[in-house]
Structure formats: C-alpha cells, structure tokens
Amino acid sequence: MANWAINLESIGRENSLLASDRLKLPKTIKQDDRILLYRIQGEDVVFLQNTSVEFAKTESISGVGEDVVAIQLRAPINLPSPSSLSAMTFSLELISRFDEPSKHFNKNIRKILDDDYETLEKQSIFWARSAFGFYANALPTDRFIEFVQFVATSAPGLLIESPKFLILWPLLRDWIEDEYINAVHYATAIRDTVSRVSIAGTSVPFNRIRVSLSDEKQASSGLLSRLVSNLESFYFSSTNTPLNVLSTKGDLNSAESVFDEIDKMIVGNLSSEQLFEKAFAGKKWPITRPIKI
Amino acid sequence: MANNATDKDLITRVQASAQKLKVAATWSHGPSLNVADSFLLELFLLFRIVEDLQNTYDVEYDPGTFPNQNVFPQSGAAKQTRPKFLVKDKASKQILCQICPGTRVSDRGGHERAIDISFQTATSPDVPTLQHLCQIFDAKYRKNDLKRITSHEFSEFARWIDLFQLQGKSAGLTFKALTDLNAHCLVTNGEETTEKDTERQRRALREIANFHPNKKYKPFPP
C-alpha cells in the first residue's frame, strides 16, 4: 500500500481521476492506496482531506497511443483542521528545499512515505527540528558559521554524527539568547539614556547616529535607532511582552518566551520527538544555505 | 495528543520571531550584528558617563563632520571628523576635557591604538598622542555574563596604561553617581578578574563588573 498527495484541482466531480496532459497518474497507484488532498494557496500547500483509492484501472483511449491509468476515490473526509506545509516544513522527510517546500508539490501528484503521511494526517510537529530550522535559517551566513564554530567547540560530536536536534536546538537557543536577547537590554538602555541626555541639555540626534565598522568602510555603517528597534521587535515577537513592562521592570527573563514554549512542547511530546529523531537520522542539517553539514 | 490549534499558533509565532531575528541580525543593509564586539556596551558606557557629568558640567555634543558626522566607530578609527563630547565648566564655559569614543591615539612608541573611550585634554588635536590623554576606558562584553575579565585582558589594559604613561593621570572630573569611573577603567557586563586589589592599585586601574542597565555595578577596588 502506498500513499499519495494529490492536488484537489486535478480531481473531477465524482472523485474520479483520469490521466491527462496535466496529470500523469503513475501505473503503481493501486486500490486502497491512501490519498491526501491538498490545495495550493499562494506560496503554501494546504492539506485539507484524506481518502483512499476505491479502484484503479488502465484504460485505452482512442487517439492516445498507450494505456492510461484512471482511478476512482472514495468520498474524501475533511482533516480535523487544514494542515499547512510551511508549518510542517521541518517535520517531513520528503522536504529538502527548505526555502521553497511547496516546490515538492508542483506535479499535482506525488508519492509520500508512510511516516510523512502519518505526520501530515495527524499534523504532528517535530518541534526540536522545526525550531532549529526556522531560527538557523534566519541567521545571516557569517553568524550561522559562528554558530557552527560554537557547536564545534561545545559539542563537536554533533558535527560528525547524525544531527541530533534534541541537542542542537538547545545549543542554538542558548546561542541566540546570549547573542541577541541580551543585547536588547543594552540597545534600549542606550536609547533611553540618549533621550535623557538630550532632555538634560546635551542635544544628541539619536535617529541620526550610525555605527561604522572601521575607517575604510564608512558606507557600511548601520543606523543605531534601527538596530535598537529591530532588536526590540525581535524581543517582543519572541516574548509577547509589551513595551511598558520592559521599560519599567526591565527584567527580560521573567517573560514567557517562544523558546520556553517550544521547550515545553518538546518535553510534553518527548516520545514523539524521539521517534522523529530516529526517522531523520542520516539526514543533513535542514538549512537553506550552501554549507554541507 | 497535541492540540493542533495551539501547535499552529506556536509555529506561527516561531516563524514570526525567526523573521524578526533575521532583520535584527542583518541590521538594515549593512554588516551583520555582532554584539561580541562590545560596541553596545561601549555606547551604553559613553552615554552613561555623559549623563552623569551633566550634573556638574555643561556637556556639548560635537557631531563631527562629513563623512563621519554622527558616525560612531565600532572598532577604532581616526579622531578627525568623528563625533565627540566637550565637557565645559558651567560658569566659565571653558572646555575642560574631550570625551572621544573609539578613536586612535599614539602611544610613547608612536604606535596608534584604538581606545574604546578616552578623556582627552581640552586642546587635544585631531591626531592625538599620549600627552593629550587623561583617562581611558576599555569595554569587555561577555555573551555569558558569568564570565570574568581574563587575566590577559587585565594585563593588556595595564600595559596600555603604561604605554600611554597614564599612571597617576586623570581628567579630574567630578562624577555624581558613577564616582567609581574616576579612574582608568576596565568595564564589563560580566565579572571581575581574580586579581587582588593591591595589584589593581599597583597597575593604577579599576575594574567595573556587572555594568548592565538593570544591575548595580561592582567596582574593584571599591
């Protein structure tokens, strides 16, 4: 028994499906094969229903040189809720194009592994790998390489063995917190201090202050105010802590962060995470940049 | 069994947060942000110094001129055209001292070294030498704020005090709250070295640990 994902657009009124120029049904599709039906929505693929093959037959059509496959599907059943590919990018074994996962579904029909079928149907998520994938791919290349160096010094075995996301994710989490979350303290304090300094009579145009790397690279300077607000929005999007709480309490670590919630998910679904870890053994790091790890 | 609605909500938040990280880490169109370079700590220290000195003095901001107007150097740069602060006597308006972020000064051997924050004499020129230098600050950012200033960093700062012949020198400015900064200071968000106070005194320097917006800093020697 095999599993297939089929674009809903290809299916006829009576849930019947005939090979055509648009859709070439494989000869290996058989009765009782499991089917997931999806729709393309913008850049995303959304899985909506499941069903199975009631019967499959080969027909010869006049004018077409060879036999073609036709199938009849059983009445599809809606999934408990639609399942979007972008959310499941790092939970599916079939995905290797992490920047454009929907490209794996541009043929209107594709075979999917048992594991991936179950994952899509149950909408289960490999939390450790998802968190790792989304954040690692957000880093600029030079900073990502620094993270790899950090792994090489703190847990070098991870660069040789199969990736273990249950270990890699906490390392990335700590690295990001040390690197960016802590910087928010200083960034916002600089802005607040400059504001007080200006009010007290030393006019400093905070919104014009830039920071440059060196003498030679004057053009490569960054606007300090933008850095501060970028760091701040990263902080707020990761913690849901409103601005006034930050500025009055100033204790960033007391807030419930996205990181904490991911870790709760990992702990709460540990057996599922461990099964995922086994299933993904042997795969490379799920990164979009051309670094071979 | 996982709750699908909560799962999706969290994935959406993770995606949004990662997108914000991408923006913050890239910092506009320029270089990627590296806080390990200590420049956030440096700028925080600079503006806190200015804020404190405003209590006692008139402090004027000199933004510098094109092409470096309002452009603070992340690592060392020539002083010319860069921003600085002028500390003036409130009554006479006479300049007492210049506060220069990240500028290079030549030492007694003629070697130029970039000082995170330096207090320079009122008449210090665009290409300063050790004779224009009164007081220096070095910022050491620790990603992990439980980490100490290393003994190597301590020795290096002590060596600079020697190379700039700063033993016994000071700008003589009166701080109001940050009184411990009236010295050649090695400043960190982390912890102090394991050196003894007698060694710090012998080297004519002070370590300032836990220099953080939400903490009370610790001076060594007190």
Q: What average pLDDT does chain B have?
A: 92
- Over residues B79-130, the pLDDT tens digits come to 999 999 999 999 999 999 999 999 999 999 999 999 999 999 999 999 999 9
Provide the whole-model pTM: 0.86
pLDDT band at A248 (very low <50, low <70, confident <90, very high): very low
What span, in angstroms and rounded, lies between the C-alpha atoms of B211 and A185? 11
Instruction: Say if residue B129 is exposed, middle or buried (CB neighbours under 10 Å; 0-12, 13-18, 19+).
Output: middle
Q: A74, A43 in Cβ contact below 8 A?
A: no
Answer yes or no: is pLDDT of A92 > 60: yes
Asked if the Cβ–Cβ distance from B17 to A258 is below 8 Å, we say yes
Measured between beta carbons, which residues in chain B are less than 8 angstroms from residue A191? none
pLDDT, greater one: B56 or A242: B56
pLDDT band at A10 (very low <50, low <70, confident <90, very high): confident
pLDDT, greater one: A24 or A193: A193
Radius of gyration in angstroms for the set of CA atoms belonging to chain A, rounded to a whole number: 25
Q: How many contacts does A have with B, using Cβ atoms within 8 A? A: 202
pLDDT band at B189 (very low <50, low <70, confident <90, very high): very high
Average pLDDT over residues B38-45: 92
What span, in angstroms and rounded, lies between the C-alpha atoms of B195 and B206? 11
Asked if the Cβ–Cβ distance from A265 to B7 is below 8 Å, we say yes
% of chain B beyond a pLDDT of 70 = 93
Mutate to test the interface with A, among B42, B70, B116, B215 (most CBs of A within 10 A): B70
Answer yes or no: is pLDDT of A64 > 70: no
Average pLDDT over residues A199-222: 79
Average pLDDT over residues B162-169: 96
Mutate to test the interface with A, among B7, B15, B17, B104 (most CBs of A within 10 A): B17
As a residue count, chain A comes to: 293
- Over residues A169-205, the pLDDT tens digits come to 999 999 998 888 878 889 999 999 999 999 999 999 9
What span, in angstroms and rounded, lies between the C-alpha atoms of A110 and A3? 9
Question: Parallel, antiparallel, or unpaired: how do β-strands B95-106 and B84-88 relate?
Answer: antiparallel
Comparing A106-110, A240-244, B14-18, B215-219, the range with the smallest average pLDDT is A240-244
pLDDT, greater one: A135 or A58: A135
Average pLDDT over residues B2-12: 78
Q: What angle do CA A279, A284, A287 make, to 5 degrees?
A: 115
**pLDDT for A249:** 39
Between helices A165-176 and A141-154, what is the axis angle to 10°? 120
Asked if the Cβ–Cβ distance from B30 to A196 is below 8 Å, we say no
Answer yes or no: is pLDDT of A241 > 80: no
Residue of B nearest to A208 (CA): B70
Task: Count CB atoms within 10 A of the CB of residue A98.
Answer: 17
% of chain A beyond a pLDDT of 70 = 87
Asked if the Cβ–Cβ distance from B74 to A213 is below 8 Å, we say yes
**pLDDT for B210:** 96
> What is the SS3 assignment for B222?
coil
* Nearest 10 degrees: Cα torsion B98, B103, B109, B110: -100
User: Which one of A200, A211, A258 has the shortest CB-CB distance to B72?
Assistant: A211
Measured between beta carbons, which residues in chain A are less than 8 angstroms from residue B26? 140
Greatest CA span in chain A, whole angstroms? 90
DSSP B142-210: -SSTTPBPPHHHHHHHHHHHHHTT-TT-------SS-GGGSS-EEEESSB--S--HHHHHHTT-EEEE-
> What is the SS3 assignment for B61?
strand
Residue written as token pair 């009164």: B134
pLDDT, greater one: B179 or B23: B179
% of chain B beyond a pLDDT of 90 = 82
Q: A4, A112 in Cβ contact below 8 A?
A: yes
**pLDDT for A19:** 64
Instruction: Say if residue B50 is exposed, middle or buried (CB neighbours under 10 Å; 0-12, 13-18, 19+).
Output: buried
CA-wise closest residue to B152 among B144, B140, B169, B166: B140
Asked if the Cβ–Cβ distance from B67 to A218 is below 8 Å, we say yes
Q: A210, B72 in Cβ contact below 8 A?
A: yes
Q: How far is A58 from chain B (nearest CA, A)?
A: 39
Instruction: Say if residue A1 is exposed, middle or buried (CB neighbours under 10 Å; 0-12, 13-18, 19+).
Output: exposed
User: Which one of B16, B83, B213 has the shortest CB-CB distance to A237?
Assistant: B16
Q: B33, B21 in Cβ contact below 8 A?
A: no
**pLDDT for A244:** 41
Q: How far is B168 from chain A (nearest CA, A)?
A: 30
Torsional class of B166: left (φ above 0), alpha (ψ -120 to 50), beta (otherwise): alpha
Asked if the Cβ–Cβ distance from B61 to A204 is below 8 Å, we say yes
% of chain A beyond a pLDDT of 90 = 57
pLDDT band at B24 (very low <50, low <70, confident <90, very high): confident
Answer yes or no: is pLDDT of B29 > 50: no
Q: A50, A74 in Cβ contact below 8 A?
A: no
Asked if the Cβ–Cβ distance from B85 to A202 is below 8 Å, we say yes
- Over residues A137-157, the pLDDT tens digits come to 999 888 898 899 999 999 998
Beta bridge partners of A45: A40
Asked if the Cβ–Cβ distance from A139 to B25 is below 8 Å, we say yes
Mutate to test the interface with B, among A202, A203, A257 (most CBs of B within 10 A): A202
pLDDT band at B3 (very low <50, low <70, confident <90, very high): low
Q: A90, A129 in Cβ contact below 8 A?
A: yes
Asked if the Cβ–Cβ distance from A237 to B13 is below 8 Å, we say yes
Helices (H) and strands (E) in chain B, counts: 4, 9
Residue of A nearest to B16 (CA): A237
pLDDT band at A293 (very low <50, low <70, confident <90, very high): low
Asked if the Cβ–Cβ distance from A180 to B35 is below 8 Å, we say yes
Q: B185, B208 in Cβ contact below 8 A?
A: yes
**pLDDT for A280:** 94
Q: What is the 3-state secondary structure (H, E, C) of chain A?
A: CCEEEEEHHHCCCCCEEECCCCCCCCCCCCCCCEEEEEEEECCEEEEEEEEEEEEEEEEECCCCCCEEEEEEECCCEEEEEEEEHHHHHHHCCCCCCCCCHHHHHCCCEEEECHHHHHHHHHCCCCHHHHHHHHHHCCCCHHHHHHHHHHHHHHCHHHHCCCCCHHHHHHHHHHHHHHHHHHHHHHHHHHHHHHHHHHHCCCCCCHHHCEEECCCCCHHHCEEHHHHHHHHHHHHHHHHCCCHHHHHHHCCHHHCCCHHHHHHHHHHHCHHHHHHHHHHCCCCCCCCCCCCCC
Greatest CA span in chain B, whole angstroms? 76
Asked if the Cβ–Cβ distance from B7 to A125 is below 8 Å, we say yes
pLDDT band at A253 (very low <50, low <70, confident <90, very high): very low
Could you give the C-alpha distances from A47 to A97, A219, B134, in angstroms and in order? 18, 47, 69
